[in-house]
Amino acid sequence: MALRSCLIPFLQQLGDDVSYWGFFVEYAPKMASGAMTTAMVMGCSALLAAVISLIFGLMRLSQNWGVQAAATVYIEFFRGTSLLVQLYWIYYVLPLMGLTLSPFMSGVLALGLNFGAYGAEIVRGGVQSVPRGQWEAALALNMSPAQRMRRIIVPQTFTLILPPMANLTVELLKATALVALITVVDLMFVAKQINATTWLSAQVFGTALIIYYIMARFALIPFLRWLEVLAARKVGKA
Amino acid sequence: MEWRWDFTFEILPRMLWATGNTLLAAGIGYLIALVVGLILMLGQRTPYRIVNFIVREVVEFIRSTPLLVQLFFVFFVAPQFGIKLTAWTSAMLTIGLHFGTYLSEVYRGALEGVPKAQWEACRALNFSTAYTYRRVVLPQAFPIALPGMGNYLVGIFKDTPLLATIGVAELMHTANALGAETYRYLEPYTMVGFIFLIISLPAAMGLRRLEAAVAKAQGKVKH
């Protein structure tokens, strides 16, 4: 192992490129474990973002002026500033105020807050496009506002919001690469590490790109399509 | 840690200078992306199905992989093949290519949004293809494309902090440098956030106004 990692830069210097297969065998396990971390960051932040989207999307539609204003400020703030800035702020500035979070937690929090803000707008749009008659019918059946939301409106929004939410989730997967910059050992971090020791940039970043592509195209997107079909079936629109 | 106003004003000139670089990067990147998007869109509408297929797959690949990884790929791989790219050049190339794929989708959607009957009517009036595009299709496709085009301009602006990672001296890079020099991170990072907010909120509002104005000029009422 050690000999090999000394040998690779040496061979490069000779101008004799090592084969891609040799590179792959050597570094695939490390990159795979990085990809697992990426998947974990993605899963946790997607859950957090989903919860935030729902809460703030509904708050945006509240009759209460204060609640609505709070949601608007939150959404505009997180959509108006850059994700990387939020990430650095949470990781480097919050500790100065006495709140220290692990890199993983900071990453999940920043991603969740950022994508939650985008998701909240999707939820708001979805709720607003449920036909007027559904609201009136629920009112006629003497349902309380909470009941109406929970049992009539929100289930119907799922089919409407899932396609845009799916797009957002793919964006989220791509955005997880940023957590490497606050030292979370994800796929991007591992790739940077291998690049720094071997300088096989084409191989290492090429492989990372392909892994991200496979995760998005052959794992995440089919899963989201399946969710869309499931939601459509649940409300009887299959 | 307390907020220090004297320090804030001390670093303000450097931050504003860096803001200029950020805007420059976003502007140049956007112009490249507009052109790349057009090429990628046309590349999917050629008479050769194999070309359309390949361009489509390339677009899909670029769209579903992270900008950050692409940035590192271009910056580190080009020298391996003997091409020396500065941080600025690789950054502009990557941004142009990445957002070009998004803009190609915007263009495609806009063209498809023009009703088929418009094409048929032009055929019936014996207009040439070029004339049909110039006088009938593009004027109708433009308002459809405008919201998407505007969103990606703001999107590029908000992704420029990534360029700091390969050493482009924009806002985030300057904030990092100031933090390293002075051991104060609170003010630089917070200022970066506020500068982004100050620019992107009015920009988003301006875009909404512009969309409404174009829709009105086209004789359509915006819902």
Contacts of A81 in chain B (CB under 8 A): 158, 193, 196-197, 200
* A178 interface with B at CB cutoff 8 Å: yes
User: Which residues neighbour A46 within 8 Å (Cβ) at sequence distance 6 or greater?
Assistant: A115, A169, A172
Q: What is the pLDDT of residues A48-85, one digit of tens each?
A: 999 999 999 999 998 899 999 999 999 999 999 999 99
- pLDDT at A15 (0 to 100): 46
Q: What Cα–Cα distance (Å) separates residue A211 from each residue in A61, A85, A180, A226?
A: 40, 26, 16, 21
| The pLDDT of residue B222 | 46
Predicted pLDDT of residue A236: 73
Summarised one tens digit per residue, pLDDT across range B128-162 is 989 999 999 998 998 889 989 999 999 999 999 99
- Comparing alpha-carbon positions, the chain B residue that sits nearest to A99 is B1
- Give the pLDDT score at A17: 53
Q: Kindly give the parts of chain B with pLDDT less than 70.
A: 219-223
8 A C-beta contact, residue B73 and residue B99: no
Predicted confidence at residue A12, as pLDDT, reads 56
H-helix or E-strand spanning residue A98? none
Backbone angles phi, psi at A81, to 5 degrees: -105, 165
Question: Looking at domain A39-192+201-234, which CATH architecture does it have?
Answer: Orthogonal Bundle (1.10)
Which chain B residues have a beta carbon less than 8 Å from that of A208? 69
Verify whether the Cβ–Cβ distance B162 to A77 is below 8 Å: no
Flag whether residue A97 sits within 8 Å of chain B, measured between CB atoms.
Answer: yes
CATH, range B5-217: 1.10.3720.10
DSSP letter assigned to residue A152: I
Residues of A in contact with B197 (CB under 8 A): 77, 80-81
Q: Which two tokens stand for residue B74?
A: 């271009």
Query: What gap in Å lies between CA A117 and CA A122, rounded to an integer?
Result: 9
Please tell me the number of Cα atoms within 13 Å of A215 on its side-chain side: 27
Q: How far is CA B46 from the centre of its chain?
A: 25
DSSP string of B23-81? HHHHHHHHHHHHHHHHHHHHHTSSS-HHHHHHHHHHHHHHHTS-HHHHHHHHHHHHHHT
A197 touches chain B (CB under 8 A): no
Q: Please report, for chain A, the start and end positions of each structural domain, with discontinuous segments joined by +.
A: 39-192+201-234
pLDDT at position A16, please? Answer: 46
Helix (H, G, I), strand (E, B) or coil at A203: helix
Q: What is the pLDDT of residue A7?
A: 53
A72–B contact, CB cutoff 8 A: no
First-to-last alpha carbon distance for chain A, in angstroms, is: 54
Q: What ipTM is given for this predicted complex? A: 0.88
Query: Which residues from chain B sit within 8 angstroms of residue A168, using beta carbons?
Result: none
Q: Two tokens at B171?
A: 């806002």
Query: What residues of chain A score a pLDDT lower than 50?
Result: 1, 13-16
